[in-house]
């Protein structure tokens, strides 16, 4: 520890606090460098020697050392020595900053008592007695912060101690659905059976104005970092960048994975002592240095790329890489038996939580990102049959029915209008009876996938209830973007290995493991109601997503929130609930950015006093596939790419026009001018890179990725004709 006041020169000392034992301190002689060698030889070795004398056995097994991030403590020499002594190194607890009073604080099996030094003053006096040349005030201020953190951290370890009355730290469960539309769930007006999510919504809060990016990996980057995806490393989809690398190669923010400029949420919570676990889709890096185990997860089972066969039905092609990983080990996918993605991911998460509960009482951060209902549309037959005939009236009737349900539930105003469907109703009516039946069945399969997600959520929730953790767990359910309107049914799958022969997309077989389909854009429009367009578009249908939180300890008066929120807000919200500060600009010996998102907690607890999460002066921007948008308060401006870059900015009042029907660009010119200026500021702040010909990177609708088919997450060049919608 280094302390300095305005009147004396800097003093250096190392102080250790033993469980139910005395304060041990070592003052570093003047003109001596307190480097890693000195720290190991003169500080740690003496500590271990003292410790062993006090123990009945001659081993230091089960001893855990909590330390801060000072460079001498993080050096490999120190870690190697501690490993040799069989001592486990733990991250410093909440509020124990780099200037904490203990450069290294020693706790036996996490059982720490403050009885000997019950307050900051007494603890300061104890250390002052050892080093009386340093003013006691310097210690007292620092100790106060340290004790606050330790009381929070060890509140459950000593029920008889005064700090036991403080509430234990909350657990966190973040659940992400893949390509789920705003209106698909029953709490948001959908007809699909989702009783478990309905329960969470009824006893929690529904968010009607929650926003993400328009595609999956950028959203996940913002979720993990609390900042814009152009800063976090996924400025553009990796699957797009590899076909036009000249635009982005080597540019900061376009690394194609979650970069080290951000402190990832699981990393921060891991350093605060949380057990961090995930099971599901990662899509933030494929290489060993980019996988979940390297970004803060203590335990992980992950599908690394953006999509996969839900039954793990794979083509035997040698060039396929291993795309599943368990912790740091890449898995042979053939070893995954009885696999259905939604069920398997839930199983893995529950087992991880059970294993951890047997080892420690540490709070957990659990991340459950499903791959459903992302294409290929596949679901158990006994679930699909429940929806037989339900969608025979077509997507337009479904869209209208869902809008009426949303209005009945108070999610939307009664005077709202639906945007026109670019695929037009006449096209649906021109289909033959068999074509309509085939299309309706794709929607039946989609609905079955959503129901199965709900069933998996229910299983995780039941585990939390059975283990008496439900009431202390903050649960967030969300989608990563709008519904997917990409037509795969007519895409010829061809490659040198001819994988097309492996699929059977006949009416009777679709939904099974050897089918490969998606529903068409008409159903995506229904799923996104009342939004305009769907996934891949910067319009509301692509970025406005369902979100539900359940957290009894918040005691929020809200049942439905119409407040504008973003996925970037989740990190600061969780950190505030966990009483864990963001590390600022330095984390794990690297420079990081601070979050752009804002905590929901003040608003959720006192919405009458704190009316907004983002003020009317805050600007929030979007860019993906060269589509641009900027929002301030109720106004949103968008710019879509066009051939020859001839498109103009559009302006919408989302408080009255959630379908983005009434362009106010010529009526509210001053508002639009301010928003355009804000866009350029956003572009500069986040490092957005746009090619001269923005039309060249527009989002393709025939396939979800530019001129690609993703089969089990691995890219097969299909050389199909690229068909794109005219904006």
Token pair in block for residue 168: 């234990």
DSSP notation for 63-93: EEEEE---GGGGSHHHHHHHHHTT-EEEEPP
In terms of DSSP bridges, do strands 473-479 and 171-177 run parallel, antiparallel, or are they unpaired? Answer: parallel
Token pair in block for residue 632: 């301030």
Question: How distant is the alpha carbon of residue 386 from its chain centre?
Answer: 32
- DSSP reduced 3-state for 48: helix
End-to-end CA distance of the chain: 61
Residue 27's H or E segment, with its range, is strand 23-27
- Rounded to whole angstroms, how far apart are CA atoms 616 and 339? 48
Residue 408's H or E segment, with its range, is helix 395-408
Q: Which of 227, 255, 282, 273 is nearest to 598 (CA)?
A: 227
Which residues lie below 8 Å from residue 561, measured CB to CB, with a gap of 6+?
205, 206, 207, 208, 209, 604, 607
219 in Cβ contact with 479 (< 8 Å)? no
Query: Radius of gyration (Cα) for the chain, nearest Å?
Result: 28
Token pair in block for residue 700: 């393709």
| Active site (catalytic) residues | 178-179, 216, 220, 281, 283, 374, 480-481, 535
- Rounded to whole angstroms, how far apart are CA atoms 586 and 196? 41
Q: Where are the beta strands (DSSP E) in 505-563?
A: 544-550, 560-561
Contacts of 461-470 with CB under 8 Å at 24 or more apart are: 461/196, 461/199, 461/200, 463/350, 463/353, 463/354, 464/171, 464/173, 467/353, 467/357, 469/171
Instruction: Say how many C-beta atoms besides its own lie within 10 A of residue 263's C-beta.
Output: 28
């Amino acid at each position: 520890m280094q302390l300095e006041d305005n009147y004396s020169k800097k003093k250096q000392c190392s102080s250790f606090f033993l469980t139910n034992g005395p304060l041990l301190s070592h003052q570093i002689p003047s003109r001596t460098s307190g480097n890693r060698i000195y720290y190991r030889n003169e500080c740690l070795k003496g500590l271990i020697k003292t410790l062993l004398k006090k123990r009945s056995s001659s081993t230091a097994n089960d001893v855990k050392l909590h330390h801060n991030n000072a460079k001498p403590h993080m050096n490999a020499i120190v870690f190697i020595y501690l490993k040799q002594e069989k001592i486990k190194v733990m991250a410093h607890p909440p509020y124990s900053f780099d200037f904490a009073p203990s450069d290294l604080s020693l706790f036996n099996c996490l059982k720490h008592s403050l009885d000997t030094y019950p307050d900051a003053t007494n603890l300061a006096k104890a250390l002052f007695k050892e080093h009386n040349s340093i003013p006691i005030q310097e210690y007292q201020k620092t100790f106060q912060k340290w004790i606050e953190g330790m009381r929070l951290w060890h509140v459950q370890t000593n029920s008889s101690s005064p700090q036991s009355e403080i509430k234990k730290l909350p657990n966190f469960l973040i659940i992400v659905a893949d390509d789920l539309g705003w209106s698909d769930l029953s709490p948001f007006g959908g007809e699909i059976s989702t009783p478990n999510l309905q329960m969470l919504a009824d006893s929690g809060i529904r968010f009607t104005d929650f926003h993400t990016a328009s595609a999956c990996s950028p959203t996940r980057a913002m979720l993990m970092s609390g900042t814009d995806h152009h800063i976090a490393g996924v400025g553009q989809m990796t699957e797009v960048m590899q076909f036009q690398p000249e635009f982005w190669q080597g540019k900061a923010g376009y690394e194609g994975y979650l970069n080290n400029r951000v402190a990832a949420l699981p990393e921060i919570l891991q350093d605060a002592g949380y057990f961090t676990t995930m099971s599901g889709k990662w899509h933030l890096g494929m290489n060993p240095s980019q996988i979940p185990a390297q970004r803060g997860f203590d335990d992980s089972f992950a599908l690394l790329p953006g999509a996969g066969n839900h039954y793990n039905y794979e083509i035997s092609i040698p060039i396929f890489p291993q795309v599943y990983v368990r912790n740091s080990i890449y898995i042979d996918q053939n070893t995954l038996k009885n696999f259905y993605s939604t069920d398997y991911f839930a199983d893995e998460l529950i087992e991880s939580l059970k294993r951890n509960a047997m080892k420690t009482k540490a709070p957990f951060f659990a991340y459950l990102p499903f791959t459903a209902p992302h294409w290929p549309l596949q679901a158990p037959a006994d679930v699909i049959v429940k929806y037989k005939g339900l969608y025979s009236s077509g997507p337009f009737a479904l869209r209208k029915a869902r809008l009426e349900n949303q209005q009945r539930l108070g999610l939307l105003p009664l005077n709202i209008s639906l945007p026109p469907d670019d695929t037009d109703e006449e096209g649906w009516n021109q289909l033959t009876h068999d074509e309509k039946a085939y299309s309706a069945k794709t929607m039946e399969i989609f609905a079955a996938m959503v129901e199965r997600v709900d069933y998996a959520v229910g299983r995780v929730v039941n585990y939390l209830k059975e283990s008496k953790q439900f009431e202390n767990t903050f649960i967030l359910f969300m989608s990563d973007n709008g519904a997917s309107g990409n037509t795969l049914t007519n895409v010829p799958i061809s490659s040198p290995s001819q994988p097309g022969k492996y699929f059977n997309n006949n009416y009777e077989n679709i939904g099974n493991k050897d089918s490969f389909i998606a529903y068409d854009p008409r159903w995506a429009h229904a799923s996104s109601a009342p939004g305009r367009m769907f996934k891949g578009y910067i319009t509301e249908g692509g970025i406005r997503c369902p979100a539900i939180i359940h957290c009894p300890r918040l005691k929020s008066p809200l049942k439905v929130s119409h407040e504008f929120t973003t996925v970037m807000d989740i990190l600061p919200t969780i950190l505030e609930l966990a009483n864990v500060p963001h590390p600022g600009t330095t984390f794990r010996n690297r420079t990081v950015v601070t979050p752009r998102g804002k905590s929901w907690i003040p608003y959720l607890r006192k919405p009458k006093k704190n009316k907004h999460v983002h003020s009317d002066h805050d600007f929030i921007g979007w860019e993906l596939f060269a589509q641009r948008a900027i929002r301030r308060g109720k106004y949103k401006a968008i710019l879509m790419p066009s051939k020859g870059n001839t498109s103009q900015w559009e302006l919408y009042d989302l408080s009255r026009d959630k379908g983005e029907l009434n362009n106010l660009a010529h009526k509210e010119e001053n508002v639009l001018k301010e928003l355009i200026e804000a866009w350029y500021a956003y572009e500069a702040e986040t490092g957005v890179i746009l090619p001269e010909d923005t039309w060249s990177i527009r989002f393709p609708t025939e396939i979800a990725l530019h001129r690609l088919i993703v089969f089990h997450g691995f890219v097969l060049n299909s050389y199909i004709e690229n068909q794109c919608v005219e904006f």
